[in-house]
Chains A and B, each alone.
Chain A
Amino acid sequence: MLKNVHFGPSVLPFLLVFPQIVVTLVFFIWPASQALYQSLLLEDAFGLKTEFVWFKNFEELIHDPLYWSSFEITVVFSFLVAFLSMSFALVLAIFADRVIKGSGAYRTLLIWPYAVAPVTAGALWVFMFNPTLGIISYALSALGYEWNHQLNGGEAMALVVMASAWKQVAYNFLFFLAGLQSIPKSLIEAAAIDGAGPLRRTFDIILPLLSPTTFFLLVINIVYAFFETFGVIHVVTAGGPAGATNILVYKVFNDGFVGLDLGGSAAQSVILMIIVIGLTVIQFKYVEKRVAY
């Protein structure tokens, strides 16, 4: 990782890493350690008295049914988002890999939702599904289904899943398409000579060879659903109705900034950090394997 040919020791390298190290220390390491410390404190509602309580905040979380339901909601939400956006993107990528004419145009038309902010995506979907005005809820009511995500928890969940997955299709599509194009053509030709039709080739050759990409995207999508969908939730449901879409990241924000339960919120942050670290480790272990592939 160090060049064989390199510069000798001097003050210069310290000056070069200085800006990044300062920003890292002030805005990353220090706040993270503060979160760790605060998670062990109990502060009264007025911020007058703090007490060191060891792991009491964590104990309370473990015994808090609301926290567990939020955990469950997050897991369900992220798997739904990952599944929906990945399967949609995979099907499109397989077809786009097949067509020769216009595959560039399809790519352009499919990737730009990546540039849409989660909040904006949420605003678009909440407009389409607005119970009184929305075009899709109007169409649904014409079909005899009364849509109201402001009252129905299941519908609220469906709406945030759709809005989050819609935005992520672009990313998955790009990576699946790149994965498909790196599969050696000779393998597919050999299968075709042996009499395997397109469907058979897709299931027996293309999908297994695509599994490293799929696994990589699964991790990325779960990280996305866990942490980057805050904007979608904030705009579409604000965690409601009755906590039906209160994912962990939203709960940290809500308990900390709205509920002002600092210790509890910090304890939740620490648990989230452990989850991110776990996911990052999985991703890195896996990336090494991907290079070998």
Chain B
Amino acid sequence: MVENRPLLTIFSHIMLLFGVAVIALPIWIMFVAASHPEIRMTQVPLPMLPGGYFFENLDIALNRGMSGMDGNGVAYMMLNSLIMAMMIAVGKIAISLLSAFAIVYFRFPFRMFFFWMIFVTLMLPVEVRILPTYEVVANLGMLDSYWGLSIPLIASATATFMFRQVFLTIPDEMLEAARIDGAGPMRFFWDILIPMSRTNIAALFVILFIYGWNQYLWPLLITSEPGMYTVVMGIKQMLEAAEQVPQWNVIMMTALLAMLPPIFVVIFMQSLFVKGLTETEK
């Protein structure tokens, strides 16, 4: 701080608290709605303070679901989301590490061609090529499968770029020393490159986990079997059903469940999260 202005400092805190309140309001309302019985959710005005029905709603959402959902709770949807998010995050990191290693540490024909080919994927988000990608996945028989959910989202230029950047900062002496000690390329990769980029891998994992967990359009297209639904899709299904029976308590509980894992990741791995976010955008 440049100068001491107590009034301005107090004003700053007030503004920040106001900002936090605006940001937190939707979450608070969701939490309150998730803690009241269904009957209370039909009386206007809706409550602003939490009720005592939280765990009952949790049980309904996880194990039974809404009426009209054939008694399927969202527990298995959470599991599907987890599997999809993990497959996307781990898969992206694995293939990007390998290709970045090849591009930085090897001289081989078509090297720049491959590099540009990967670069192009940066420009084609799934939203703009949904129909033909859907056809490819359908032809490969990957509809309604974890492979179909994750593999088309796995290729990404951002992760490859980030690892390329990281590898370029690793001193050449590392490779020279490894070579003198008789290490081959894969040995060098496993024992030196991977340990040296451990924090970058972790940071990227945090970002990719959130990205994978929150996927919506793609799972919506390629899953038709309720057993493959993800929890984010589940919310939409419930909202559609809500037009007949508004069970907002269960819907809001599901929304809460859907956002908990990524929020935990952001809050408890905050420094990794910030690092991942700022570095993938470079």
Q: Please give the residue numbers on chain A whose beta carbons come within 8 Å of chain B beta carbons, in ascending order.
A: 1-10, 12-14, 16-17, 19-21, 23-32, 34-35, 38, 88, 91-92, 95-96, 98-100, 102, 106-121, 123-128, 132-135, 138, 166, 169-171, 174-175, 178, 185, 188-189, 192, 198, 201, 216, 220, 227-228, 230-231, 234-235, 249, 252-253, 256-257, 262, 265-266, 269, 272-273, 276-277, 280, 287
Contact = CB atoms under 8 A, between A and B. Distances in A.
B44 A132 contact: yes
A148 to B, nearest CB: 15
B267 interface: yes
B176 interface: yes
Chain B contact residues, majority secondary structure: helix
Interface string B3-39: 1010011001101100110111111011001000000
Given A92-B16, A110-B23, A118-B214, A127 B251 contact: yes
B104 A120 contact: no
A276 B124 contact: yes
B69 interface: no
Nearest to B19: A92
B79 interface: no
B12 to A, nearest CB: 4
Contacts, number: 303
A124 B27 contact: yes
B266 A188 contact: no
8 closest A-B pairs (Cβ-Cβ)? A115-B262, A31-B132, A117-B214, A34-B132, A16-B102, A13-B106, A23-B155, A13-B102
7 contacts: A3-B172, A7-B185, A95-B15, A110-B23, A138-B45, A227-B127, A235-B235
Interface of B: 1-3, 5, 8-9, 12-13, 15-16, 19-20, 22-27, 29-30, 33, 41-42, 44-46, 48, 94-96, 98-99, 101-109, 111, 114, 117-118, 120-125, 127-133, 135-137, 140, 151-152, 154-155, 160, 164, 167-168, 172, 175-176, 185-186, 210, 213-214, 216-217, 220-221, 232-233, 235-236, 239, 246, 248, 251-252, 255, 258-259, 262-263, 265-267, 270, 273-274, 277-278, 281-282
A27 B233 CA distance: 22
Contacts of B176: 5
The CB with the most chain A CB atoms within 10 A, among B29, B172, B185, B214, is that of: B214
Contacts of B251: 123, 127
Given A6-B104, A230-B127, 13 more contacts: A3-B104, A9-B109, A12-B186, A30-B136, A38-B131, A95-B13, A114-B277, A119-B235, A124-B29, A178-B278, A231-B216, A266-B132, A269-B129
Given A12-B106, A109-B23, A138-B46, A21 B114 contact: yes
A98 B16 CA distance: 11
A16 B25 CA distance: 48
A13 B277 contact: no
A99 B16 contact: yes
A235 B221 contact: no
Contacts of A234: 216-217, 220, 236
A253 B19 contact: no
A272 B127 contact: yes
A242 B15 CA distance: 38
A138 B44 contact: yes
Contacts of A256: 130-131
A27 B152 contact: yes
A88 B29 CA distance: 21
